[in-house]
A and B are shown apart, each in its own frame.
Chain A
Amino acid sequence: MIRIKPVLILGSIVLALGAIWIFGGRWARGHVNYITAVDDHPLTCWTCHVYTQKDNFIAKMMNETYVSPYKMDITVDGQLLYVIGQESNELVVVDAPSGKVLEKIPVGLKPHTVILSPDGQSAYVSNQWADNIYRIDLDSHQVTDTLMGGSGPAGMVISPDGRHLWCVNSYSNDISIFDLENLQERRRLKAGNNPVSAAMTPDGSEVYVSSRRTIPKPHMTHPLTEMTVSGTKYQRVSERRLFQDAYIMESVDVTPSGDLVLATLIRPKNLIPTVQIERGWMMTQGLGIIERESGRMVQLLLDEPNAFYADPFGLVITPDGKKAFVSHGGVDKVTAIDLDELRKVLAEAPDDELEDYANNLGLSSRYVLGRIPTGHNPKGMVLSPDGTLLYVAERLNDRIAVINTESLETVQTIGLEGPRRRTVARHGRQVLNNAKGTFQNQYACYTCHPDQHEDGLVYNMAGTDMGRNLANVQTLRDIGDIPPYKWNGKNQTIYKQDGMRFSTILTRNESFTHKELDALVAFIITDNPNPPNLRYNPHGELTAKQERGKEIFYRTHDNYGNEIPEENRCYTCHPPPYFTNMEMTDVGTLADSDDPMKFDVPQLNNVYESAPYLHDGKAPTLEEIWTEFNDFDEHGVANDMRKDQLNDLVEYLKSIGDAKNYMEEASVYEASLRKKKKE
């Protein structure tokens, strides 16, 4: 017995290990196959269970805080560069000739733009996620003042006399004009949808503000993106110029002679069934131009018939007005443009052929001087005062490239002392921002998901037939815990969402490698918070209207005292913290052009910035979900509501912010559910 026992124990262990090896392996294979929706993804447990950790010890070990240089400005003597560190929340001071980092000045959350005052005494930094602007004294490098304006401050310009600062507010869709003597907001002007960049004419008479999103428009009609023109004398909007079939106008600038206003833009083909990519069938990118004398608006492409330059971002014009440079965040390149040649093309363009000019992929060969390779994700740019050097923020490399504007070659790279290792999430961010995953680099994930959000457009993805199943683009922010994905809920995980079918239907290119897909998923899950909802819920306390709206949201009886069926209450399908129950539901919004299906209940965090609404984007506003598309109370009982009640409900919905703010509310809700079950 004594001898048999160890043998039995050993045998049992061997058998157990064998069983684990055989059945565990099979289980793991099945599990990974389910998660990834393919059968060849490596069985590497840590890609899902380590890299995707959020807010814990492992996450802290895994991740790093990068600098992520974004926009820049330079002193008039060309000696000092001031660089926005978008992720590190710093203003990095760099000695330009030596390329040495001199100092890192802490600034507010998600800084966007830095601009130096004409007297060189101050720098202004717009803190996009903090809703304020810092004034920094350039002698002491101390934050001396905080300017308060609209929500989401972004691009800025200062009048030549240094008296006024114009700051565009990207979330509240307006422009704050500050008096720099008393640092008070003097005036607020309405801008386009999601304005981000501003430029002043050389004579200081006008300010042009470019926007990213289309203005509200009828369903399935042309995107119309506003360039807001304001006179500086009376500080009023003089014109609202609409660029048709264009959006994401990230940067705007004016030529030194003041004859042209140039803006980067993307021309999406969202209204056409997306059956191919060849010949610019999905996205083209180029310039929006306003000829100031005639007022004519022209669009010209920077792409070529078989080569696309995704996500144009930065735009600068040399002091002599001869060249312009555009950075392309999606293809790691800067395009150099001969402005005299561009003017010739404009002079030849008849008014009745401007649409063909805007779609002509061959024209760029006339005015593009060259394409200069850069590091990952080039964003903001600034020229040395004499125009001989171009500084380019390589955002996802934590570097500044220095390009000779004559030879069009990179002569130096300046490291910003960011972390040396590339984390998996950082790699994922590079994958998301780069267009190489798409056939001919036509667009990146980022193109339809700028800042990992959504672009506000509705596409006909033509997954089966053309013209059917229109899809409103959904946000990527904080979606890791709320499967399934896609409106039809067919993708159980982000792995599947971005996997093989994604490449067949969307990118029409070789699918991501396993490593790229792991990284992309890790980034989407771990590093994508919603911006704080400072516009509608700045202090975490609801207004009276929002409180009344919340009561309606959680109501169980209608205005007539009738009990609302459980399935027809707002909170049943939209419970906190994400305000989705992650179930497939029919709310009576199926269109004739849809295949029969139910829809995945969308989350409501930061829903205010996700217009249009419903799966096919047919509701331009939250109100219209119920006033236009809820005839039979299938999308919650709402037809009994008075107008003021609906307004209150909408105000409450707009106040909903990031899920982390609703954990307690979710616990209370779940407890009430448990109690109800017991009863």
Chain B
Amino acid sequence: MNISSTPTDISPAGNTQVDRNPLPLGGLRIVDLTHVWSGPSATRLLAGLGAEVIKIEGPSRPDFLRGTGHADVPSRYPDQKHGRDPGNRNAWFNTVNTDKRGITVNLKDPDGLRLLHQMIAESHVLIANYRAGVLPRMGLGYEQLKAIRPSIIVVEMTGYGSVGPMSAMQSYGAQFDAMSGAAWLTGDGKQPLLTGFALSDPVAGLSAACAVVSAVARLRRTGEGCYVEVIQRDAMVPLLGEYVLEASVDDLSPTGLNDAEEACPHGLFQLGDDSWVAIAVEDEPAFHALLDQLDDAARAQLADVGTHASAMIRRDEVNAAVRAWCRRRTDAAALSGQLQVAGVPAGPVSDGRDVYGDEQLRENGFFRRLEHPSAGAHDYPGPPLTLNDQRFAPRSPAPVFDQDTDAVLRAVCGLDADEISALRERGVVGAALS
């Protein structure tokens, strides 16, 4: 069956307005109740792909990622200055919320909840990353929302699943990393080691994005909505699936820190100027290419190794020779380029400045300059993909707090200016970011 020949209209509320957004998720409206990192990273990607993402924050409960005001870490702010409105100037929030609309609604107020229900009636997807059980308690469970819009898709990102003894526990990326087995595989076999940047958060976000597009594909095909639970702790486990498979039938093959069973030499090697280079030789051609690049001292050390097959058996000796050779070299970027030209997989260990200035990323348009009303003009990273060789995101900066409340209430809920003003006066919507 060629499904794209029988599309289902997904324009908001099934109206007949012709979708003019050329991006793949054009015409899709997502109500976004996610906060911090994992959920917002999912909706950032979906917004980049063309969905209209309406991010909802509480008037007195902004997204935690907006920071803790003037007591927050200075390195997250332009010129390390919090400024007059730090909540709108946080680099983290402004990175992970591009291409979204931002509104403020007090969902604890019955009128606020009613507004949200009105939005649901005009939307295709609701996504949230609250603790398990919170959505139904708020009146936003799947069955409750299905009564409002039968074809609604509800995606709930729970920490540990909605049932079981851990369901209500606090959950952060570090916990997911630790409970996936990844920390032990990352370490040296004697001690576990956490990935330095809570990789589990964006990984859970990617899984949620997978769930949303899959559910939307089904909606387009059948006209039916569904409930999807994304378990964030579980999202890391498929990334080490081959190890799980191996451990289920055999003892795991042990590897040391920065080692890999299928490659030799393999590792991150320190150069004479204290820069680091990754080298990973997986086959005979690359091994012989590496031998050609070594200096006489290193070649002499490896004179009787000869083949990659032999190197794999004598990996300690080979890695030691390469380690010593690297200490006689400088400039990881130049060495990596030299090795790559010769056919040896290699790359410099890059920090934020290196990645930001990376000519490869620059030439391919990975970064886009966005003018943010409070933070100023900066370059932001986009998704790592192109459609028909064209970059498509990010297109607009993260919303400042309360930026789109009036516009969304007018366009989606059909309120007029007086009605919105009354809601503001009562604190149901809007507020200044403290």
Q: Say whether A and B bind each other.
A: no
By a beta-carbon cutoff of 8 Å, the part of chain B in contact with chain A is none
Show the binding face of A for B, using Cβ within 8 Å. none
